[in-house]
Structure 1
Amino acid sequence: MTDRLSPQHETEIRERAEAATPGPWVEYADYGKDFYAYTGGPYLRGVGTLNFGDGDDADADLEFTQNAREDVLAVAAELAAVRAERDEAQARVDEVERRYIFNIADLRREVDHHKAGKERWRKRAREAEAMVYELKRPAIEQERNEVRSSMTCLASEAESEGDHEGAALLALELDKYESKWRSQDEAMRARIGAETNEHHTVDGTRYLCHQGDHYCPNGSEGASS
């Protein structure tokens, strides 16, 4: 049988099972050999003589027949429950589609809006970091110049005292400092996007802007400085 069980066919099977004598059917010898009946009710309900022979399948046939009516009703009840669960799940899916799937375009617009806002706040964070960097820059340069001056003086003293090796070592150490400072500056510029920074002065106030993202009152027309 390849056809799916239709609701109508399912109903017909259930009605046939409900109309049959309740089960299980048990052997009732008082009415003769191989006589079977339902004895679980208030009175005896006979089924009839059922002789299954002595073949290999006799016991299986007997057990199947004895319990067929109740088994069919149990399967029908489970099938009805499964159908109800399926229909409920489908109704939920339909509701989701109705409420959300048809609003995909709106959702995408909302996501794009939040992405744009997130990127804007990232730019603002880079701007704030750049301002802090610029405020600290004079002190950093002063500290570096003090290191340069000290090491240069020490190297000169070593040279004057004939300690050429010591002077060379001090010069080498200063080169290491210079290399480290350059790396720090490059890392900071890359972090804050210094390559896109633009300073605009409007009415005596200096603004830190970025290419294509201006915060000064006159926008991209501000005077660069």
Structure 2
Amino acid sequence: MSISPVNCPNTDCYWSAHGIPDKYTEARAWHLAAHRAEEHGELLTAEQVAYATRAGHTLPNCARTAAAVAAAPEPIPARWDRTVILPEHPNGDLDGQTIVCCITDDGTKRPIGLFLDDEHREALGLLLVDPNGEDEEHATLLAEVQRLKTELAQAQEDIAFTERNTLPELRRTVEHHQDGKKRWRDRAQKAEARVAELEAERHTTNEALSDAAQQLRANSDRITELEAELTKYVGKEPTIAEEMEYLSGCLNAVRDLCDATEKQATRWEHPLPVPEWVETVRAATDGVRPDDPNDNRHRILVDGKGNGWISVCSDEGTEWVVPIQPAAHVEQDVRDVADETGSLREIGRCW
């Protein structure tokens, strides 16, 4: 946007207006016309007055249009004849006005009267009482009147300057603040939307935490239940001797069954054939199993006292075993161990 200053065409006048874009030609023309009407006494056109009225501008106090000048009555030149008739004079005005007697200065010498009310009479003051007075008080009053007129003119000029230069800036400032309010309003709306979104997320999170807490309580109850179940068994495990005694009792029951089956078959005068499974089961209870020449694992055995043994080697038909205890280092014949402990049964194999 192009913005150039508006300057007075008079070379001896340094007035200028700033901040009005070039495209606003009417506004630029009005500010220049208002300045020239106030400072240089130039008449305003009817179009300029119409624009000022439409735009809300204040007309300069001294500004007059050409039409108004044309319609105004022609002034009558006159001079004061040093006569003043006050209201209290027998020939004074009945309405209480002061009559200043004058004589026309157009060659006709006609007497005319200038009627002054109390305000104008007070303003003229001693000049009406003592037209020829040259005292110090009279001079002081005239100087004060002149000073007040000068201050009034300066104040009017300052007001006009402020209207020409400050109002556009104020409008731009107001527009800027309005734009700022709109931006803050948009930010507030976005913030409110974000708060609503976070509240929804918090609600979802609270539900998830509630479910997790319920599951945690259920797990805790299950752990308590399992710990109570575990106390039934912890510290109550049977010893190896007790387990071996239990297993020996089971094996003895199986042997007894095999013996009873064999006796039942042979008790008759003409014995019946003993079932084949009897011998197989009896051999299994003694830990006897067919040897596999390809099985190189060491046999693990348990004697009649519950002690563990492990096979280490075989030499010329003799199998040598050692106790499983850490201090074991002396090899013994499996038959000797069986004779000493009462039995020796295989329970597994290892490498």
TM-score of the aligned structures, taking structure 1 as reference length: 0.32
Larger Rg: 2
TM-score of the aligned structures, taking structure 2 as reference length: 0.22
Relative to its length, the structure with more helix (as a share) is 1
- Larger relative CO (CA 8 A, sep 6+): 1 or 2? 1
